[in-house]
Structure 1
Amino acid sequence: MPTATTSCVFPLTAVGPVADWATEKARELPANVELSFLLAAEDAPGVPDGPWPEVVVVTATAFADSHTEAVGALRPLRNCPLSERPLSRRRDEPTSLAALYDASMNLWPEKHRYAADTLWSHEDYASLLAKLGDAVAEAPSGKSFVLAPVSPVSREDESLRNMAFSVLGESYVVPYAVWTDPAHDDVNVHWLRDAMRAVEPYGTGHYIAEADLTADPSRARRSFTAADWQRLRSLRAEYDPQGLFFSYLSA
């Protein structure tokens, strides 16, 4: 499948206007384009080399039947009117699926330690990412980052009806603490939870697969709508009344 990628790197201090610009342009992008934000320090995996400290990276990848079609899908991102011009830019680059997998894997290198948490919200990305940008600038590990896919789910009710988990917001952010030394576990987990506390007032729920279920007893329950949560508890009571199997349905 031919793909093409456009990406822009901005200073993290410009995260508010960058988020507003990119989310506005995302409304013009067709469904075959994936757009995301990455907030990270200069030495974080996946950040392009360059003489800058913390950055926000906007990346959009189009999946199409031809490279020409993919480039056309990315057209809304062609021009950037921001006064904070990109520090670097890749435009309409042919991108193999193997390269996409490699880029993803670079964010999570082997032999590292990880902690993550998630947040769904109805708040705009500019507000969420501004607060998380402050956290990234203070991260004890330069490898930690925040990932935020734009429009990560379908808007069609029919497509959502039988999902295994509930969609609980219009925006979605995932802070990752990444470090190497076990002696630094506490400080990095503490950083992650402080970062989450900065945005939790805006939250509507969490994504169960990457939520830090040990951070608060309500994490699991808040990963589902009230109706779906009750349905899961009822199913467990019916098929596992003795609690033989371990479950995160504990709140």
Structure 2
Amino acid sequence: MREYSIMGLPFKEYPLKEASEYYRSLMRSPGMHLTSFISYNEILEIVDSKTYQKWFGAFEYIISPDMYSDKESVDDVKASDFLDNLLRELMASKAGIYLLCDTKAHLDSLKQVLDRYSTIAENTFNIVGEDLYDEVNKEAIFNRINVECPVMVISTMTFDMQGHVMMEGRKLLSASVWLGLIPSVVENIKKGRHIWDISFKTKFEFRWRLERYHREHKNQLVKVNEKRKKS
């Protein structure tokens, strides 16, 4: 297994079956979701399992739009360092970063967070805000979006257990269809590139989920190792 270190957090690339079971177990945990997760059944409609294993590294980062309004819980230095380090890591190989928001309100929140907590200029990114609930123009919207970069960052989107894109609890479209509307994203996946996500929640939830991630991650590793020994 190849090991990654992402923002100082250990991550291992699992075989396809174990990876799927692991992330599904996390998604069933109370209050837990992985916003970057797309079910492998959906992805396998586009790429084969070998290619999927190469890029399966979806990981959740949570930064809060409330951090600039909730003064009691704000740690400006840590928040700024975290965001800047995350963005620099994503851009380390001169990768473009694409930020997609489903509504103008989310776009405004994203820009406020970047403005307050990041020293990296806003024009570094391709930031697009669209009403993705627009059924009539949905395909045109996605076809117009050009993502020719190794790293794609999607904000304010989540995927359900079947790999459908969810926004505020509403099913938008299946992940396979969604990815199919953006050919360059599919090409990035085929080349083994990763798709990342930044989701905006509370800072407390960010800390709690990272801690829970580590606990669940460690427990799952123990369970996988025990199964291997028995077999």
Q: Which has the higher helix share?
A: 2
Q: Which has the higher strand share?
A: 1
Larger Rg over CA atoms: 1
Instruction: Please give the range of the TM-score, normalised by the shorter of the 2 chains.
Output: under 0.3
Looking at both structures, which has the greater relative contact order when contacts are Cα pairs under 8 Å and sequence separation is at least 6? 2
**What is the TM-score with the length of structure 2 in the denominator?**
0.26
